[in-house]
Structure 1
Amino acid sequence: MIVTAPEKKQRVPSAYNRFIKEEIQRIKASNPDISHREAFSTAAKNWAHFPHINYGLKLDANKQTNLPGEGTTKSNGFY
């Protein structure tokens, strides 16, 4: 008797997954000679410094930022 593992459901890609995929493509387009490992490393570093607003992530509840077209908001925290 052969036992097979049940099929895994495919998950929706996370914001990080979408960012990394797009960023690696962008990096390789501008520098075709770069290795995939270097492009991935650069993309991961870019993620660390990227404003995650465009990827559906919620900001910290104590921090507020001005989004384009939303006018000004006041910070609830310290300066």
Structure 2
Amino acid sequence: MNNAAPEKRQRVPSAYNRFIKEEIQRIKASNPDISHREAFSTAAKNWAHFPHIHFGLKLDGNKQGKLDQALAEGTQKSNGFY
């Protein structure tokens, strides 16, 4: 009798999973000394503060530039916080 667990199918990563993975890489690139735990926490806070990202939506015109600037400034000023 075989009691091995059935194979689990690998799920397609959610928008949150993709965002967190990319955001952790971005945060660590700008601050290599940050711990993974702190980078993850920062990425999760960034997800919570920018809800339009959740659905892959783009902001109109100048608003996107302001968002990019806010993300960049937040990373430089506080180790990646929004």
Common fold by TM > 0.5: yes
Q: Percent identity?
A: 84
Report the 3-state secondary structure (helix = DSSP H, G, I; strand = E; otherwise coil) of the residue aligned with 2:12: coil
Larger Rg: 1
5+ residue gaps in structure 1?
59-65, 70-79
Q: Could you say which structure has the higher helix fraction?
A: 2
TM-score by length of 2: 0.63
In 2: Cα distance, 1:37 partner to 1:30 partner: 15
Let me know the Cα RMSD of the aligned residues.
Answer: 2.3
* Structure 2: gaps (5+ residues): 62-82
Question: Aligned pair count?
Answer: 61
Name the residue aligned to 1:72.
Answer: none
Q: Relative contact order (alpha carbons < 8 A, sep ≥ 6): 1 or 2 greater?
A: 2
